[in-house]
Amino acid sequence: MQTHEIRKRFLDHFVNAGHTEVPSASVILDDPNLLFVNAGMVQFVPYFLGQQTPPWNRATSVQKCIRTPDIDEVGITTRHNTFFQMAGNFSFGDYFKKGAIEFAWTLLTNPQDQGGYGFDPERLWATVYLDDDEAIALWQEVAGLPLDRIQRRGMADNYWSMGIPGPCGPSSEIYYDRGPEYGVEGGPEANEDRYIEIWNLVFMQNERGQGTSKEDFEILGPLPRKNIDTGMGVERVACLLQDVDNVYETDLLRPVIDLVAGLAPRGYGQGNHDDDVRYRIIADHSRTAAIIIGDGVSPGNEGRGYVLRRLLRRIIRAAKLLGVDQPVMSELMTTVRDAMAPSYPELATDFDRIHRIAVAEETAFNRTLASGSRLFDEAARATKASGASVLSGSDAFTLHDTYGFPLELTLEMAAESGLSVDEEGFRGLMAEQRRRAKADAAARKQAHSDLSAYRDLVDAGPTEFTGFNELTSEAKILGIFVDGQRVPVVSHDARQDRVELILDRTPFYAESGGQIADEGAITGAGASSAAKAAVTDVQKIAKTLWAHRVNVESGEFVEGDTIVAAVDPRWRHGATQGHSGTHMVHAALRQVLGPNAVQAGSLNRPGYLRFDFNWQGALNDDQRTQIEEVTNEAVEADFEVHSFTTGLEKAKAMGAMALFGENYPDEVRVVEIGGPFSLELCGGTHVRSSAQIGPVTILGESSVGSGVRRVEAYVGLDSFRHLAKERALMAGLASSLKVPSEEVPARVANLVERLRAAEKELDRMRLANARAAAANAAAGAEVLGKVRVVAQRMAGGMSAADLRTLVGDVRGKLGSDPAVVALIAEGDNDTVPFVVAVNPAAQDLGLRANDLVKPFGAPVNGRGGGKADLAQGSGKGAAGIDAALAALRAELGRS
């Protein structure tokens, strides 16, 4: 049975039962919480909630639905579609559970020649919400379903809501058993591939509030009336009635698969699972994209536009991975239109627009992929040239991050060139990027979480940045914000949480491109001349509006006032040194390491810079020195610094370096230092000539995640101060060592060597002393009971290991008669190590070192253990040593 027929039978069935047929709503409804319409009931929400009176008590529809949270499941399972058609019947305070079950059951099981779907009743199962005994009874009574084909399930499966506040209720789902070839027995609870859900009956009776998951939300209370909302998955029913393996092979999707199979070198269903998944992704996504564009969405970088872009790009990648080399979008859209237009005529009437948008996105993305392929070729060449066979994780990451290459594409291309890929490195970078994005998002959230307060000002136009030419500008206050709230005035004695001034023009550089914001002051002019504020930070809002974060130190600022904004010239000078220094180090790095040292981020502030770049492995001393030298030579050459604006393509053609992953406008600013030496796209502030940067001293080089290295440096006076400090340190060393500074290293090496020798000698002497002590101790053996006993305090500073050596020595000297040796000493840090040894003859008398060590250690708060022949322990408090020895003697005396 064809899909169009399935839809028709559904609508007819319910229209015959007194329902009004309502057309599908657009997939975009005016609810900011809902990205896309995800169920048939969405357009009826106001009726369920009792906010509006429904014009009918019964309705039926086939709704276009988009669900993208499971996008990664598409093509892998047999049943996930990002677009699907939900056929539904709705009762607004009319029939309830019994009617819903009855209507569904008859349509499903009525023979096909009587207008039904003709499903075998023996293969149908139902689930109900945990305590819904009423539904269980109805399934038995109305449908004759035996109890063993009715399962109770929890909130996650059988309690329906839109995922956001709105109507909700317990549900009952109908499943079809596809048979043992699809998985284990046991009903839907056991396997949802074998038992496939086809219809969900929701007993809509409550209103839900906010929540965190399907199972965790507040129930606000009952709805004004009890309602029914059902949803039958048209694609799933088609899959069963057409007896195909999965929803992607049904009559409306299969033509897309067939189309692509005609273009790709490897066909569909040829035993290659990955390929088959790609075919299904293309089929599913093409249709979804056409529908979304049809309802008015264009590709973009956020919200619905982003979902669309993602779908289109996934299609293109999947086609690439299937080995299709030509553009596919045009034919895909045509095929989707032909299949779907009988039910969705808008796809035909609006085809030109849909087609144009989809194809334009493909063209743009293919350009990106082409540049990515060039980068890949270069990286592969470099990898091979260096004798390696593994493409670095950072290359794979750049390809992914900047050019949208999924890892699997890179893996395939690498395999074709005889390379493998450092997947672990890639994943490390991905994880790191996610961490960064999260931290960024958290930071941004704090700063400008709610743009709506700034919306008027953003719309009114950008702040004019005057800071390339002057450090002091007169400007007008366009807006004042305290903690994100707009206020007309702010004074120095008012509460000052996050005060921001928005000006029409400003010389203050707002943090961007790695350069941190300028510091300086804003002072009142004319009437408000007493007002003064220190600028502590400047951030851009929506990229166009400069928000000056200030501390108001005196007077008050009023919206509309004229003020004077003045950047601290020393600060700015330092900032330009830092930023130009960054460009110099970047250029030097590429000169020394080659073009693979791609910038991955930077930060500069007065006197300091850091530069991150993609590179595998640490730099050696030689490379570091060279980078420093090339940089300082270029400083000394006193290159002129030019900046100019030009077209993006032109700038790139000149060889200007752009930061990967950055979105540049069509007109870009280029900063050039010394002609070809350094050419970068950059909006920052710079010195006029390179000598103004002053000396550049590299502090160090380190790793910041796999495949990314960081160079840190001082510039200008800070660089000098750093060197001066090092010089002073060296002078101090030379003077304490009493040698000229160039002899310090040799002197230190010599000292270290002598120290080692002395320590060795010391050890040797300590042991010799101890041995002598052992001999004495043996000589001083006493007889207690039947054993000869040496129980002694040894010289201070001994460790347990020293004692162990000694105890062995002493025991050796005592001969084969029964003997016990117990030594104790005052160790380091107030510890008291002790050791007991018992020779075999004494063990024959029943003495055990591991028993004796206990009374021995107790007076020094020590615990010990070991074996019958040797035991040791450690305590604290040397004051107890005599008592310990006495305790041991007493113990032995008793034996």
Residue with tokens 């001349």: 529
| Six token digits for residue 461 | 């136009």
Kindly state the smallest distance separating residue 343's Cβ from ligand SER, in Å.
18
Q: Does 824 bind ligand SER (CB under 6 A)?
A: no
Q: Does 426 bind ligand SER (CB under 6 A)?
A: no
Span from 149-157, 224-232, 260-268, 589-597 in contact with ligand SER (CB under 6 A): 224-232
Dihedral sign, Cα of residue 187, residue 188, residue 194, residue 200: positive
Kindly state the smallest distance separating residue 128's Cβ from ligand SER, in Å.
15
Span from 229-237, 441-449, 646-654, 664-672 in contact with ligand SER (CB under 6 A): 229-237
Which one, 88 or 581, has the nearer CB to ligand SER? 88
| Amino acid identity, position 581 | G
Kindly state the smallest distance separating residue 355's Cβ from ligand SER, in Å.
31
Kindly state the smallest distance separating residue 227's Cβ from ligand SER, in Å.
11
Binder among 3, 91, 230, 335 for ligand SER (CB under 6 A): 230
User: Residue 503, class by beta-carbon neighbours within 10 Å (0-12 exposed, 13-18 middle, 19+ buried)?
Assistant: buried
Which one, 22 or 641, has the nearer CB to ligand SER? 22
Span from 38-46, 47-55, 95-103, 521-529 in contact with ligand SER (CB under 6 A): 38-46
Span from 10-18, 227-235, 340-348, 564-572 in contact with ligand SER (CB under 6 A): 227-235
Kindly state the smallest distance separating residue 204's Cβ from ligand SER, in Å.
8
Q: Does 603 bind ligand SER (CB under 6 A)?
A: no
Kindly state the smallest distance separating residue 64's Cβ from ligand SER, in Å.
13
| Six token digits for residue 541 | 């809002």
- Residues 593, 599, 603, 608: what is their CA dihedral angle, to the nearest 10 degrees? 10
> What residues from 185 to 214 belong to the interface with ligand SER (CB under 6 A)?
200, 202
Contact 513, 683 (CB under 8 A): yes
Tell me the C-alpha distance between 292 and 294, whole Å.
5
Which one, 229 or 612, has the nearer CB to ligand SER? 229
Q: Does 231 bind ligand SER (CB under 6 A)?
A: yes
Which one, 82 or 874, has the nearer CB to ligand SER? 82
Starting from the edge strand earliest in sequence, which strands make up the sheet with 831-838, in order? Answer: 782-784, 787-794, 819-825, 831-838, 870-876, 863-866
| Six token digits for residue 614 | 């993609």
Which one, 162 or 853, has the nearer CB to ligand SER? 162
Kindly state the smallest distance separating residue 201's Cβ from ligand SER, in Å.
7
Kindly state the smallest distance separating residue 307's Cβ from ligand SER, in Å.
19
* Cβ-Cβ contacts under 8 Å for 708 (sequence gap 6 or more): 394, 429, 432, 600, 612, 613, 614, 615
Which one, 60 or 230, has the nearer CB to ligand SER? 230
* Cβ-Cβ contacts under 8 Å for 232 (sequence gap 6 or more): 10, 86, 87, 88, 104, 198, 199, 200
- Residues 512, 514, 520, 524: what is their CA dihedral angle, to the nearest 10 degrees? 0
Instruction: State the DSSP H helix or E strand holding residue 862, giving kind and residue range, or none if neither.
Output: none
Phi-psi region of 370 (alpha: psi -120 to 50; beta: other; left: phi over 0): alpha
Contact 516, 604 (CB under 8 A): yes
Kindly state the smallest distance separating residue 171's Cβ from ligand SER, in Å.
7
Helix, strand, or coil (residue 371): helix
Phi, psi of 374, rounded to the nearest 5 degrees:
-65, -45
Q: Does 39 bind ligand SER (CB under 6 A)?
A: yes
Q: What angle do helix axes 254-263 and 273-294 make, rounded to 10 degrees? A: 120
Of 804, 805, 881, residue with least CA distance to 835: 804
Contact 109, 121 (CB under 8 A): yes
Which one, 40 or 507, has the nearer CB to ligand SER? 40
Tell me the C-alpha distance between 712 and 442, whole Å.
26
Site string for ligand SER, 143-182 (x = CB under 6 A): -----------------x----------------------
Instruction: Please tell me the count of residues contacting ligand SER according to CB under 6 A.
Output: 10
Binder among 19, 27, 40, 48 for ligand SER (CB under 6 A): 40
Pairing of strands 464-465, 505-506: parallel
Dmax (CA) for the chain in angstroms is 116
239 annotated binding-site participant: no
Number of other residues whose CB lies within 10 A of the CB of residue 599: 19
Kindly state the smallest distance separating residue 127's Cβ from ligand SER, in Å.
13
Kindly state the smallest distance separating residue 257's Cβ from ligand SER, in Å.
27
285 annotated binding-site participant: no
DSSP state of 182: G
Q: How big is the chain, counted in residues?
A: 895
Which one, 159 or 557, has the nearer CB to ligand SER? 159
Span from 33-41, 50-58, 370-378, 687-695 in contact with ligand SER (CB under 6 A): 33-41
Span from 223-231, 280-288, 315-323, 705-713 in contact with ligand SER (CB under 6 A): 223-231
Kindly state the smallest distance separating residue 200's Cβ from ligand SER, in Å.
4
3-state secondary structure 132-158: CHHHHHHHHHHHCCCHHHEEEECHHHH
Which one, 151 or 230, has the nearer CB to ligand SER? 230
Q: Does 41 bind ligand SER (CB under 6 A)?
A: yes
Of 271, 162, 383, 96, residue with least CA distance to 393: 383
Kindly state the smallest distance separating residue 424's Cβ from ligand SER, in Å.
41
686 annotated binding-site participant: yes
Which one, 59 or 670, has the nearer CB to ligand SER? 59
Q: Does 127 bind ligand SER (CB under 6 A)?
A: no
Cα dist. 293→192, 269, 289, 299, 309 in Å?
32, 30, 6, 8, 10
Which one, 81 or 872, has the nearer CB to ligand SER? 81
Which one, 39 or 693, has the nearer CB to ligand SER? 39
Which one, 161 or 678, has the nearer CB to ligand SER? 161
Task: Round to the nearest angstrom and report the end-to-end CA distance of the chain.
Answer: 100
Which residue number is nearest to ligand SER in terms of Cβ? 231
Cα dist. 835→215, 240, 810, 858, 894 in Å?
63, 81, 12, 13, 20
Which one, 10 or 509, has the nearer CB to ligand SER? 10
682 annotated binding-site participant: yes
Binder among 157, 177, 229, 556 for ligand SER (CB under 6 A): 229
Helix, strand, or coil (residue 470): coil
Tell me the C-alpha distance between 629 and 635, whole Å.
10
Of 595, 148, 527, residue with least CA distance to 381: 595
Contact 800, 872 (CB under 8 A): yes
Q: Where does 654-743 have alpha helices with state H?
A: 716-737
Phi, psi of 552, rounded to the nearest 5 degrees:
-80, 120
Kindly state the smallest distance separating residue 231's Cβ from ligand SER, in Å.
3
Tell me the C-alpha distance between 299 and 306, whole Å.
6
Kindly state the smallest distance separating residue 30's Cβ from ligand SER, in Å.
19
Binder among 54, 75, 88, 606 for ligand SER (CB under 6 A): 88
Which one, 200 or 288, has the nearer CB to ligand SER? 200
> Which residues of this protein are in contact with ligand SER, per CB under 6 A?
39-41, 88, 160, 200, 202, 229-231
Name the binding residues.
Answer: 579, 583, 682, 686
Binding site per annotation, positions for Zn(2+): 579, 583, 682, 686
